[in-house]
Amino acid sequence: GESVGLHLPTLSVQEGDNSIINCAYSNSASDYFIWYKQESGKGPQFIIDIRSNMDKRQGQRVTVLLNKTVKHLSLQIAATQPGDSAVYFCAVLNQAGTALIFGKGTTLSVSS
Amino acid sequence: EPEVTQTPSHQVTQMGQEVILRCVPISNHLYFYWYRQILGQKVEFLVSFYNNEISEKSEIFDDQFSVERPDGSNFTLKIRSTKLEDSAMYFCASSRTPNPNSPLHFGNGTRLTVT
pLDDT, residue A39, reads 93
Question: B99 and A31 in contact by Cβ < 8 A?
Answer: no
Mind telling me how many Å the CA of B111 is from chain A's nearest CA? 9
Closest CA to A88 of A24, A21, A31: A21
Contact A11, A106 (CB under 8 A): yes
**pLDDT of chain B, 115 residues: tens digit per residue:** 779 999 999 999 999 999 999 999 999 899 999 999 998 888 999 999 999 999 999 999 999 999 999 887 899 999 999 999 999 999 999 998 876 667 889 999 999 999 9
Return the residue in A95, A102, A104 with the most chain B beta carbons within 10 A, the one to mutate for interface testing. A102
Contact B37, B43 (CB under 8 A): yes
Beta strands B10-13 and B110-114 are parallel
Tell me which amino acid residue A47 is. I
Contact A38, A87 (CB under 8 A): yes
B25 inside 8 A of chain A by CB = no
- Of chain A, the percentage scoring pLDDT greater than 90 comes to 72
A99 inside 8 A of chain B by CB = yes
pLDDT, residue A6, reads 64
Tell me which amino acid residue A21 is. I
pLDDT, residue A106, reads 93
pLDDT, residue B101, reads 67
CB pairs under 8 A between A and B: 61
**pLDDT of chain A, 112 residues: tens digit per residue:** 567 876 688 999 999 999 999 999 998 888 899 999 999 989 999 999 999 999 999 999 999 999 999 999 999 999 999 999 999 999 998 887 778 899 889 999 999 8
Question: B91 and A104 in contact by Cβ < 8 A?
Answer: no
B102 secondary structure, DSSP code: S
CA B113 to chain centre: 15
pLDDT, residue B61, reads 96
